[in-house]
Structures are given as structure tokens and as C-alpha cells.
RNA sequence: GCGAAAGUGGUGGAAUUGGUAGACACGUCAGACUUAGGAUCUGAUGCCGCGAGGCCUGGGGGUUCGAGUCCCCCCUUUCGCACCA
């Protein structure tokens, strides 16, 4: 009988819904387990099989945990606010308000069809007022704690998205979404002071079970660096120039200074006769794109301001230059230049013929420097500090500077504050009122949420202002403080605000009085297992950790880290049609990005001749036209087969080149399981556990051994996220079962113990349940078992049954395996030696030679060394 | 340039952490059953060799009775960071 998957899968999906099978009830006695996948933004392209590379294994894990007796919370929701959704709405000329729920519903349908065990009663949508009320509440909390502020600063402006971008959203000077070159634009915008938490965000990484690579990315992004700030007095009047350096021990080698072109002191420092030149350079630097400035390969440029500063350690006058290799955004925007020991300063000094002095040496001697020597060593040419080792010198000089009030040891971070303002429609309005009398006034909590108005035109204004600014009914309001006329803030919050706390909301998603009750939070949180793509390494995960710490500090949470274990799934790649770029598209001489392949646009599909199409592997996405949908796979092979394939095809973390050939193998496996269980069903005895097998043939013992070994293996491997080998283990077991009890035998039990067959059948169903839950439920019911298999206990394994009776011990002669002997488990060395030396083959090899030594490893190997 | 991970059959991938390399699967080949089969079942399948046997984990050294696994050098790929002072 073939497996009618479409009927059976529909039956159980209905049954799970009707029985609320995956509802998580807070406060139960069973230990809780909170398992979460990064919630998706619902796009029009729908889910593709690539999404399931995450959802399916994580679901198998949840089902396994449920069978082990955990009270599992496995929720799903929609990251519905933000530009992806808004851009899609614009493209389709839809209102996101109507479009998003449709898309979410489609996602939900597909996820239900895959048999994923979500508690849909906890579904959340971040664009729903009941949700974003609390996003706004979080904003006010940050504001109250001094962690939100408004500042006019040059921000990353994406001209295509017409909005500001946080630093984390800029890659190689380009917008992460649309790849446009990012510009700098000064605008008043809201920021969150994440830098205040830099040290804790860095230190607490140690507590987390995340991949080392992931932690390293966060460390890089936070970019802690220890050093010193030093004030250089300026010749004449004017405030000193403050620099940051990680090498205060090289102060004696500082022969000039460089300021970023945007540095606020530039104008004041520049002498009149150099003004024209300096201003021209500043203008030129401003006109450059971020991409140009980020290019480290190009030659150094700069101009002299005419001003001099005084090196505080030796009183020497040193020239002050400006150059675009110094960035305003890091440190103080000014540096002391030590050409002898910094490659960039060396290059600059060579070009502009500035003096180069050696102040660090390996052995205390000095020599002509052919290149910068950035390493540590012993101080030379450093006055009374000569001879000090770098580390000691750093400490000494820092205190020396501090005593004189001209410097101090400091720590700088690469991390910038989080730009939250978006000049876009589709986001949570920032709950602030601008009052001419009172200034920036927070909207009182009782007036939350500040509703996003329903509008006709939600497109970006083009002026840089939010579309909300064009809606008088929204903008014009009264000041909550003085009651006078005032204007609402028209920026909305970037999507990352919503995703920085959603994992808390799942604990108590309907609560209207608080973002989640403390009781529910204490029961469910923190998230025990979090899974998602590596692309969120620095943005989402950093922000969510930041908000969690703020809430902890406020006493609202009892934990400081939201995601204890993090696993990152690989993506699915699909063959994607593209073409060679045309000459004007290859970057030419202006663009640095070398493109050698461009995805075919929709209209190009038919136009381009087949022989000009170039196929490449690329991540699945609708825009690339290479998606395979779960729906079509489920239609053809069933959800269980698709699930098995997604897990079996490769390790969880690995990228996969999608092909349909593999899924047929999984389909075959599922069918084999089904057919064997159907054949075994008539002989099934529910009392096998108590009725004890009467006959124990060697074959029975062997297959039971395999069974118990498999139970152990599958559990252990699900726990370590090795789903591919866990599935393989069940396949091995099935092969063993087929040779023990082939279906074609007239009677499956002929010559077999029906109790053994029963044990095999029941345990096989349980082992299949996390992977192929529909099949498992169906057979579970057929076998006359009560309740959902998802609540049946995970099978126990008996170590005695699982233990091997005999083992093959390898015999090595001079390091090469020559023979093997089969001996009982844990057989002692002497017996094995005697056995081995008696073997004809071994005797021949040892003839005329002298045995030097023998090494015996129990159950593994006997190594004979001879001369 | 810096940092991280990885390189195993025709393919996806296993390998208890130093002890039978290639589990499991795809593909291929052969057989069985079939009116038929893109179904099912059985078997074979790293490479060279008729064979005995020899050779195989990116390349080259080393440690060891024994190395895919540990150490050193090199090559390649992927990812992250990068004029960060």
C-alpha cells in the first residue's frame, strides 16, 4: 500500500489545529523550552524551500523536546514593518496595510502545510497597533534613561530608499538593500545610545553558546581598542587638538598631525595664505562618495594648514595637515602621526617629505627605516624613557600625561550609536511632540500608541522628509506638557526596533497593560534556542541584546542575555540565469565593484538568446527568479519527504545547492518506512514491553542492538543539531529492519518474534516523529496508541541491548592494517595477541622477523612492530 | 592586509576526536518481479591492476606503532573586517 501523503498530511494538520496540539500554556509544571526562529518579513514572493532550511530542522528539534517532556514554546510572527514590506507595496502599487496581512496569511498557510508545530495562538504582527504601542513604549523607556537622543549629524543617506541608514546597514559604502552608493547628509535624527553598552555587549559574549564566528563578528563590530587621548597644544591661541592613539609610547616619533577634513577645528587652524587650498580640499573630500573614501588602495592626499602644534613630550613644533585618510567618525577625528611605526603615516610622510623618526626598536639599536615598523619593542629616541618595553611605556606615559592634565588612558569603540529615524511611512511613529515652548516632549504612555495614519500616498517624499509630514491631521497636535500647539515627530522607527523585543512579546502576546507580564517572562524567557541566518550577525542580534540589557537594568527582566544558544542555518542556492555585464555596467573606471554576472531581469528572460545565458548558483530569492516553493514540493512528494530532505541533504549550517534529485531519495525512504510499518501492523502487539520476547535468535539480538544504538544516536544528534546524520541513522536502522524482516516474506513474522517486530515498529514510529510527523501520527493511531505522538515519550535505550557482542580488532604490522580478528567485546590483550599470532597471514608476515613491541587498544586494534 | 571557517569518490556528505577512510543518500551498472514502470526488491559501485597486491582525505614536510584528525610550510575557496589611528 502506497503512502497517500496528501490525504494523511491534511488529516493531521486539521487534527493538530482542532486539538490545539501545539499550544504553549504558561506556568505548567513541565520544564519549559523556548525555541525561536528569527521571524520573517512576509514578502509577496512567499516562502521558498530556502526558508525551510531553518524552520524544518528547528521544528524537528521542538518536536523532539516535546517528546522528551518539555513544555515547548514555538511561536511564529511577522516582522511586518519596515522598508522591505514598504518597497514591495510601492512596487506593486498596494497599500502595505492591506498587503502585509495577505502575505502573512500566505506564509502561515505554507508553514502549516510543512507540518511545523507553531503555536498560532501567539502569532504576532509588528505592524499591528497592539504591538507597536509597546515598541513606542520601549522608545520612551530609552528616552527616559537617557539612551535616546536627537542630534543633527551627517548620516548615511540612501538616495534610492530616500532614508537614513544605520551604520550596520551600510556595506562597502552601499545600501544593504538596494546597493546604491550611500551619501553623507546632515539631518536631525534620533539615535539610541548603544555605545553606552559597548563594554557589556562585548564582555557578555563570553556567556553565550554561539558559533565562534558569530561572536567574532560582534567583537569586530564593537571594535574595542585601548589607548590614550592626548592633547596637543596649538601654536598661538586656540584650543588644543585632541587625538586618540593606541600607541602613546610612540609620542616621541610624532612628527606631524593630521585632522579629518570635516574636523571642526580646521577652519580656525588654517592660516590665511593656505585658506583657499584647504577649503578646496575640504570641498573635494565632501564630494567624494563613501566608497571612494573607503578604498584603502588609493594614494594618500592631504594639504598643510599652515598651523603647528607642540608635541607635549619634547616640545617640538610639528605641522598640522588635513587628509581624508583620517576619518571624522572614529576616535577624535584627529591623529598624531608616527611615520616610523604606522604604515599609513609612513606613506604620507614619504609623499610630503615629512620627517621620520624611529622610536621603537627590537633590540634597542637604531637604523634607517625602509618601511613603517608597527610592532612592539624597546623605546629609542624617547628621552628619559629610552629602554622601556612598549607595554610598560604605554602605562607610564599615560599616567605622565594624566598628571599634567594633557591626556589619559581611554578606550574607544568602533561601534556607533544606532540611528533609528526613518523618513518613511511604514514604521512605528516615534512618540515625540515638538513644542515651540517645551522642546521635545515625549507622548505620555496613556496616549500610546501614536497611530500610524491611514493614507493614500505613503511613498517617500523625495524631499528627505517623512510622508507623515504632509498629513496635517497627524502633524498638528497639542503639546502634552503645556497644551499649546505643537508638531508631531514625523520620522518612524526603523524595522530593527520591532525585532529588538519581539521575542519577549511571544511570552504574552495579547497583553494590553504591559509589553509582557513579568510572570510570563520569568516562565518562558530567555530564549533557549534561537535560529536564523548569519546576515543578522551584527545588526539585529546586537540591538536585541542591547534592549534586553536596558530592560534588565530597569528591573523589568531577570536576565541579561536574550538568546542563550544561537545556531545559523545555511542557505539554499539555486541555479540562476544571468548574463555577462555590458561594458557600461562593469563598473568602468568609476566604480570599484567588479561585477562579472548580472541576474536576468524578468523581461530579459525571453529576450536573451539561450547561448548567452550564464547559469550560476545564487541564494534563492524571488527577485532572482530562482525560487522553488515548498508548495510545489509538497504537492509532488509530501511535506514529510520535503522535511526529511531539508534535514538530510547537508549539515544545518551548510549552504546547499538545491536539486530535485535528492528529494526523491527522501521520498523513497519515507515510503519504505510506511510500507514496512503497514506490513508489520497486523502482527503488532501493544504489550511487547511487558510480554518480553520469548525467543532470542542471533538475528533478533542483532536487530534490537541496532535499534537501541539508533535510539541513542538519533537523540544525541538532534540535540547537537546534526540532523543529517540523525536521519541517516534511521535510514541505517530501516535497512537493518528490512534485512531482518523483509516485506516479501509471506508472513512478516514467520520465524520471527512478533514482540521484536512490535518493538521495532513502535520505536521506528517514535524515531520518525520529529522528522516525518504526519506519517508518525497516522501509524501511531493505527497501532492503537493513544494521544499525539508528539506527546509520547521519546524511546529509552537499553545500553545492555545496545552493546556489541563481538568486535573486529584490526591487526597492524608495522603500521599497516593486514588482518582482523573477531573477538568478544572487551576481550583482553593476551587473548587477542595469541589469536593474532596464530593467524596464517600474520605468521607469514612475521616469519624471520623479530617482534619489537605490540600495542593493544581494547576493541580497536593490535599493532605489531617488528624488525 | 587582518581575522575566522573549510578543502574527503562522479555528486551531497559520514568518520565515536589519534585507531577498519568513504556511513547514509544521489547517480550509475547488473539482476528479480512485472503488460508496463520515472514503482518496488536484491546486489555491485574510491582509484590502478586479470590477479596477488598497490595507491587514496588540496600540496609538501614532521610527530607517532598508527594521522582525514596533532604540529610546521605552501596552495585554493568561502565568509567577516579593513586608511579604526
Average pLDDT over residues A758-783: 96
- Grid coordinates 550577525 are at which residue? A537
Q: Band of the pLDDT at A591, cuts 50, 70, 90?
A: very low
Distance (Å, whole) CA A742 – CA A727 = 21
CA of A815 to C1' of B71 (A): 20
For A240, which DSSP code? P
- The number of angstroms, rounded, from the C-alpha of A570 to the middle of its chain's C-alpha atoms is 10
* Alpha-carbon gap, residue A175 to A21, rounded angstroms: 43
Least confident of A100-114, A189-203, A606-620, A827-841: A606-620
341-400 on A, CB < 7 Å from strand B: 342, 344
A window 410-429: Cβ near strand B (< 7 A): 412, 414
Nucleotide nearest to A347 (CA to C1'): B83
Q: Which nucleotides of B are covered by protein (CB under 7 A)?
A: 3-5, 12-16, 19-21, 23-27, 39-43, 54, 65-67, 79-85
Angstrom distance, A649 CA to B68 C1' = 21
Report the first-to-last Cα separation within chain A, whole angstroms. Answer: 64
- CA of A300: nearest nucleotide by C1' is B83
ipTM: 0.94
Please report, rounded to whole angstroms, the spatial distance between the CA atom of protein residue A861 and the C1' atom of nucleotide B60. Answer: 30
Q: C-alpha cell of A282? A: 575640504
Over residues A236-246, the mean pLDDT reads: 90
Is residue A196 included in any domain, yes or no? no
The nt closest to A671 (CA vs C1′) is B40
- Decide if pLDDT at A604 tops 90: no
CATH number, domain of A767, equals 1.10.730.10
pLDDT tops 80 at residue A415: yes
Helix axes A49-67, A698-719, angle to 10 degrees: 110
Q: What is the CATH number of the domain that holds A259?
A: 3.90.740.10
Of A412, A429, A453, the one marking the end of a domain is A412
Q: Is residue A312 part of a domain?
A: yes
Binning pLDDT at 50, 70 and 90, where does residue A402 land? very high
Q: Which residues contact A9 (CB under 8 A, 6 or more apart)?
A: A113, A115, A634, A638, A639, A640, A774
Residues A539 and A45 sit within 8 Å (Cβ to Cβ): no
A256 and A398 assigned to the same domain: yes
pLDDT tens, position by position, A508-559: 999 999 999 999 999 999 999 999 988 888 889 999 999 999 999 999 999 9
| Nearest-nucleotide field for A328 (CA, C1') | B84
Number of separate domains in chain A: 5
Choose one of A412, A434, A466: the last residue of a domain: A412
* Same domain as A810, residue A798: no
Please indicate, yes or no, whether residues A815 and A773 belong to a single structural domain of this protein. no
* Nucleic strand B under 7 Å from the C-beta of A863: yes
Q: What is the pLDDT averaged over residues A388-409?
A: 91
Rounded, the Å distance between the CA of A742 and C1' of B18 is 40
Q: Are residues A35 and A108 both part of a single domain?
A: yes
Label residue A160 by pLDDT band (50, 70, 90): confident
Contacts of residue A674, Cβ cutoff 8 Å, sequence gap at least 6: A1, A2, A3, A775, A779
Mean pLDDT across chain A, nearest whole number? 88
pLDDT digits (tens, 9 = 90+) for A800-843: 888 888 888 888 888 888 888 888 888 888 888 888 888 888 88
Q: Could you say which DSSP state residue A86 is in?
A: H
Q: Whole-number Å distance, CA A741 to C1' B41?
A: 13
Which 319-338 residues of chain A approach strand B with CB closer than 7 Å? Answer: 324-333, 335-336
**Does the pLDDT of residue A583 top 60, yes or no?**
no
Shortest CA to C1' contact from A335: nucleotide: B85
Q: Is A303 helix (H, G, I), strand (E, B) or coil?
A: strand
CA distance A533 to A568: 5
The answer to whether residue A609 scores a pLDDT higher than 80 is no
For cell 491611514, what's the residue?
A454
**Residue A511: its pLDDT value, please?**
96
For A297-323, give one letter per residue: b (16+ CB within 10 A) or e: eeebebbbbbbbbebbbeeeebbbbbb
Rounded, the Å distance between the CA of A599 and C1' of B16 is: 45
A236 touches strand B (CB under 7 A): no
Looking at chain A, the whole-number percentage of residues with pLDDT higher than 90 is 55
- Per-residue flag: A481 CB under 7 A of strand B: no
* Exposure letters A19-53 (e unless 16+ CB within 10 A, then b): eebbebebeeeeebbbbbbbbbbbbbbbbbbbbbb
Å from A857 (CA) to B65 (C1')? 11
Residue A173 CA to residue A179 CA, distance in Å, equals: 9
User: What was the pLDDT predicted at A290?
Assistant: 63
| Coil, strand or helix at A584 | helix
Res A695: pLDDT? 63
Q: Tell me phi and psi for residue A786, to 5 degrees.
A: -100, 145
pLDDT of residue A582: 64
Write down the pLDDT at residue A593: 42
Closest nucleotide to the alpha carbon of A841, via C1': B52
Grid cell of A583 as nine digits:
561594458
Nucleotide with smallest C1' distance to residue A415 CA: B84
Alpha-carbon A678 to chain mean position: 43
Answer yes or no: is A397 within a domain. Answer: yes
Shared domain for A689 and A559, answered yes or no, is: no
pLDDT at A291: 63
| A556, A612: one domain | no
Q: Which of A364, A388, A412 is the last residue of a domain?
A: A412
Query: Locate cell 584603502: which residue?
Result: A296
A861: CB within 7 A of chain B nucleic strand: yes
Same domain, A660 and A561: no
Question: Do A597 and A707 have their domain in common?
Answer: no
Kindly state the average pLDDT of the residues A678-692: 87
Q: Which residue is nearest to nucleotide B85 (CA to C1')?
A: A245
- Length A210 CA → B58 C1' (Å): 29
Strand B interface, A 165-204, C-beta < 7 A? 171
**Å separating the CA of residue A168 from the C1' of nucleotide B4:** 20
Nearest to A445 by CA among A25, A136, A87: A136
Q: Where are the alpha helices (DSSP H) in A235-361?
A: 266-269, 275-287, 290-294, 343-352
Question: B35 C1' – A661 CA distance, angstroms?
Answer: 28
DSSP A371-403: S---S--EE-S-GGGTT-BHHHHHHHHHHHHHH
pLDDT of residue A746: 54
CATH code, domain with A844 = 3.10.20.590
Q: Which of A308, A291, A276, A271 is nearest to A175 (CA)?
A: A291
Q: Residues A332, A277: one domain?
A: yes
Q: Which residue is nearest to nucleotide B78 (CA to C1')?
A: A655
Q: Give distance CA A735 / C1' B23 (Å).
A: 12
Which structural domain range is residue A774 located in?
A: 645-802
Separation between the CA of A811 and the C1’ of B21 (whole angstroms): 17
CA neighbours within 13 Å on the CB side: how many for A52?
35
Q: Which nucleotide is nearest to A245 (CA to C1')?
A: B85
Q: Smallest CA–C1' separation from A655: which nucleotide?
A: B78
DSSP A678: H
How far, in Å, CA of A230 to CA of A286, rounded? 27
Distance A654 CA to B31 C1' (A): 38
What per-residue confidence (pLDDT) applies to A44?
82
B5 C1' to A212 CA distance, Å:
10
Determine, yes or no, domain membership for A557. yes
Q: In the complex, which nucleotide's C1' lies nearest to the CA atom of residue A326? A: B83
Strand pairing of A225-234 and A407-412?
Answer: antiparallel
Q: Rounded to an integer, what distance in angstroms lies between the CA atom of residue A255 and that of residue A311?
A: 8
Give A357's DSSP letter.
-
Compute CA A201 distance to the chain's CA centroid, rounded to the nearest angstrom: 16
**Which of residues 630 to 659 on A have a Cβ less than 7 angstroms from any strand B atom?**
648-651, 654-657
Contact A691, A755 (CB under 8 A): yes
Q: State yes or no: pLDDT of A322 exceeds 50.
A: yes
Q: Which residues pair with A310 in a beta bridge?
A: A233, A317
Q: Please tell me whether residue A361 adopts helix, strand or coil conformation.
A: strand
Nucleotide nearest to A810 (CA to C1'): B20
Q: How far is CA A199 from CA A328, A413, A558, A743, in A?
A: 22, 9, 20, 64
- The SS3 of residue A756 is helix
- For residue A507, give the CATH number of its domain: 3.40.50.620
* Eight-class DSSP state of A209: B
DSSP conformation letters of A699-746:
HHHHHHHHHHHHHHHHHHHHHTT-HHHHHHHHHHHHHHHHHHS-TTSS
Angstrom distance, A656 CA to B58 C1': 21
Residue numbers 502-541 of A with CB closer than 7 A to any atom of strand B: 534, 537-538
Strand B close residues, chain A 243-272, CB < 7 angstroms: 244-247, 260
CA distance A358 to A373: 9
**DSSP structure class, residue A749:** T
Residue A3 lies in a domain: no
User: Alpha-carbon distance A852 to A814, whole Å?
Assistant: 10
Given this model, what pLDDT does residue A365 score? 82
Residue-level pLDDT at A1: 57
Per-residue pLDDT at A616 exceeds 90: no
- pLDDT at A594 exceeding the cut of 60: no
Q: Is residue A209 part of a domain?
A: no
Closest nt to A661 (CA→C1')?
B26
Is the C-beta of residue A813 closer than 7 Å to nucleic acid chain B?
A: no
Query: Residue A601 pLDDT > 50, yes or no?
Result: yes
CB A230 within 8 A of CB A248: yes
Nucleotide nearest A859, CA–C1', reads B19
Whether A837 and A858 share a structural domain:
yes
pLDDT tens-digit series, residues A251-274: 999 999 999 998 999 999 999 999
Burial class (CB in 10 A: 0-12, 13-18, 19+), A662: middle
Domain identity same for A392 and A258: yes
Q: Which of A's residues 818-847 have CB atoms within 7 A of nucleic strand B? A: 820
Out of A267-276, A584-593, A690-699, least confident range: A584-593
Is the pLDDT reported for residue A461 higher than 50?
Answer: yes
Torsion angle defined by CA atoms of residues A717, A720, A721 and A727, in that order, rounded to the nearest 10 degrees = 0
**DSSP β-ladder status, A241-245 and A418-419:** unpaired
How many Å apart are A503 CA and B29 C1'? 54
> Is A10 within the bounds of a domain?
no
Question: How many whole angstroms separate alpha carbon A114 and alpha carbon A600?
Answer: 31
Distance CA A468, CA A461 (A): 9
Same domain flag for A795 and A836:
no
For residue A262, being part of any structural domain is answered with yes
Dihedral sign computed on CA atoms, order A525, A526, A529, A534: positive
Comparison of pLDDT for A296 and A318, the residue scoring more: A318
Cell for A518?
Answer: 513579568
Which of residues 719 to 778 on A have a Cβ less than 7 angstroms from any strand B atom? 722, 724-725, 727-728, 731-732, 735, 738-739, 742-744
Amino acid at each position: 500500500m502506497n503512502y497517500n501523503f496528501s490525504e494523511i498530511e491534511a488529516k493531521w494538520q486539521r487534527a493538530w489545529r482542532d486539538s490545539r496540539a501545539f499550544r504553549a500554556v504558561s506556568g505548567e509544571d513541565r520544564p519549559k523550552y523556548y525555541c525561536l526562529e528569527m521571524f520573517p518579513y512576509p514578502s509577496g514572493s512567499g516562502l521558498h524551500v530556502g526558508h525551510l532550511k531553518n524552520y524544518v530542522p528547528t521544528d524537528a528539534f521542538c518536536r523532539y523536546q516535546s517528546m522528551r517532556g518539555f513544555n515547548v514554546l514555538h511561536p511564529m510572527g511577522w516582522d511586518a514593518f519596515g522598508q522591505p514590506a514598504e518597497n514591495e507595496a510601492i512596487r506593486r502599487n498596494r497599500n502595505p496595510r492591506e498587503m502585509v496581512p495577505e502575505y502573512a496569511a500566505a506564509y502561515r498557510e505554507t508553514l502549516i502545510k510543512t507540518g511545523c508545530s507553531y503555536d498560532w495562538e501567539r502569532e504576532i504582527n509588528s505592524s499591528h497597533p497592539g504591538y507597536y504601542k509597546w515598541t513606542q513604549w520601549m522608545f520612551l523607556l530609552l528616552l527616559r534613561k537617557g539612551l535616546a537622543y536627537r542630534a543633527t549629524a551627517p548620516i548615511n543617506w540612501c538616495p534610492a530608499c530616500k532614508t537614513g541608514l544605520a551604520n550596520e546597514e551600510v556595506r562597502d559604502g552601499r545600501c544593504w538593500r538596494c546597493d546604491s552608493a550611500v551619501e553623507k547628509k546632515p539631518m536631525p535624527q534620533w539615535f539610541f545610545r548603544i555605545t553606552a553598552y559597548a563594554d557589556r555587549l562585548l564582555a557578555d559574549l563570553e556567556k553565550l553558546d554561539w558559533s565562534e564566528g558569530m561572536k567574532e563578528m560582534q567583537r569586530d563590530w564593537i571594535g574595542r581598542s585601548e589607548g590614550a587621548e592626548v592633547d596637543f597644544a596649538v601654536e598661538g591661541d586656540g584650543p588644543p587638538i585632541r587625538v586618540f592613539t593606541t600607541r602613546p609610547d610612540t609620542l616621541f616619533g610624532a612628527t606631524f598631525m593630521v585632522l579629518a577634513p570635516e574636523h571642526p577645528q580646521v577652519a580656525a587652524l588654517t592660516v590665511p595664505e593656505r585658506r583657499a587650498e584647504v577649503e578646496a580640499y575640504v570641498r573635494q573630500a565632501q564630494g567624494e562618495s563613501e566608497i571612494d573614501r573607503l578604498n584603502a588602495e588609493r594614494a594618500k592626499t592631504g594639504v598643510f594648514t599652515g598651523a603647528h602644534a607642540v608635541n607635549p613630550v619634547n616640545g617640538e613644533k610639528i605641522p598640522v595637515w588635513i587628509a581624508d585618510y583620517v576619518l571624522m567618525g572614529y576616535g577624535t577625528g584627529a591623529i598624531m602621526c608616527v611615520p616610523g611605526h604606522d604604515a599609513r603615516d609612513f606613506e604620507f610622510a614619504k609623499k610630503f617629505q615629512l620627517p621620520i623618526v624611529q622610536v621603537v626598536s627590537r633590540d634597542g639599536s637604531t637604523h634607517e627605516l625602509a618601511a613603517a615598523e608597527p610592532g612592539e619593542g624597546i623605546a629609542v629616541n624617547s628621552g628619559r624613557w629610552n629602554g622601556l618595553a612598549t607595554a610598560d611605556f604605554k602605562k607610564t606615559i599615560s599616567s605622565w600625561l594624566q598628571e599634567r592634565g594633557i591626556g589619559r588612558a581611554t578606550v574607544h569603540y568602533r561601534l556607533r550609536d544606532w540611528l533609528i529615524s526613518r523618513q518613511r511611512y511604514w514604521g512605528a511613529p516615534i512618540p515625540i511632540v515638538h513644542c515651540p515652548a517645551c522642546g521635545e516632549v515625549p507622548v505620555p504612555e496613556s496616549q500610546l500608541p501614536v497611530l500610524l495614519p491611514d493614507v493614500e500616498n505613503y511613498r517617500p517624499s523625495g524631499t528627505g522628509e517623512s510622508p507623515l509630514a504632509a498629513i496635517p491631521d497627524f502633524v498638528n497636535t497639542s503639546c502634552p506638557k503645556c497644551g499649546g500647539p505643537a508638531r508631531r515627530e514625523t520620522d518612524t522607527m526603523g524595522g530593527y526596533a520591532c525585532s529588538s523585543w519581539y521575542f519577549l512579546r511571544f511570552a504574552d502576546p495579547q497583553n494590553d497593560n504591559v509589553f509582557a507580564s513579568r510572570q510570563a517572562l520569568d516562565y518562558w524567557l530567555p530564549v533557549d534556542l534561537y535560529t536564523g541566518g548569519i546576515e543578522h550577525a551584527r545588526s539585529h542580534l546586537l540591538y536585541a541584546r542591547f534592549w534586553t540589557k536596558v530592560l534588565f537594568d530597569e528591573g523589568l527582566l531577570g536576565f541579561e542575555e536574550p538568546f542563550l544558544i544561537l545556531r545559523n542555518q545555511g542557505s539554499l542556492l539555486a541555479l540562476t540565469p544571468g548574463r555577462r555585464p555590458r561594458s557600461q555596467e562593469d563598473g568602468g573606471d568609476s566604480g570599484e565593484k567588479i561585477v562579472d554576472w548580472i541576474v536576468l531581469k524578468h523581461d530579459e528572460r525571453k529576450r536573451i538568446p539561450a547561448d548567452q545565458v550564464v547559469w550560476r548558483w545564487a541564494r534563492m530569492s524571488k527577485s532572482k527568479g530562482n525560487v522553488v516553493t515548498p508548495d510545489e514540493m509538497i504537492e509532488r512528494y509530501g511535506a514529510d519527504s520535503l522535511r526529511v530532505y531539508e534535514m538530510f541533504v547537508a549539515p544545518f549550517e551548510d549552504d546547499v545547492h538545491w536539486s530535485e534529485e535528492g528529494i526523491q531519495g527522501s521520498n523513497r525512504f519515507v515510503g519504505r518506512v510506511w510500507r514496512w510499518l503497514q506490513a508489520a501492523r497486523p502482527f503488532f502487539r501493544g504489550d511487547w514491553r511487558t510480554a518480553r520476547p520469548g525467543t532470542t535468535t542471533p538475528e533478533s539480538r542483532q536487530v534490537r542492538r541496532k535499534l537501541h544504538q539508533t535510539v541513542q544516536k538519533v537523540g544525541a544528534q538532534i540535540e547537537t543539531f546534526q540532523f543529517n546524520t540523525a536521519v541517516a541513522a534511521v535510514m541505517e536502522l530501516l535497512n537493518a529492519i528490512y534485512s531482518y524482516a523483509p516485506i516479501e516474506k509471506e508472513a512478516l513474522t514467520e520465524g520471527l518474534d512478533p514482540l521484536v517486530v512490535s518493538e521495532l515498529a513502535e520505536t521506528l514510529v517514535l524515531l520518525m516523529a520529529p522528522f516525518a510527523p504526519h506519517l508518525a501520527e497516522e501509524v501511531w493511531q493505527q497501532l492503537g496508541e493513544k494521544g499525539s505522538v508528539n506527546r509520547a515519550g521519546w524511546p529509552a535505550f537499553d545500553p545492555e541491548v545496545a552493546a556489541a557482542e563481538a568486535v573486529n580488532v584490526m591487526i597492524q604490522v608495522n603500521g599497516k592494517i593486514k588482518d582482523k580478528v573477531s573477538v568478544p567485546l572487551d576481550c583482553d590483550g593476551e587473548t587477542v595477541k595469541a589469536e593474532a599470532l596464530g593467524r596464517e597471514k600474520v605468521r607469514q608476515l612475521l616469519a624471520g622477523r623479530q617482534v619489537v613491541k605490540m600495542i593493544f587498544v581494547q576493541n580497536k586494534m593490535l599493532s605489531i612492530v617488528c624488525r
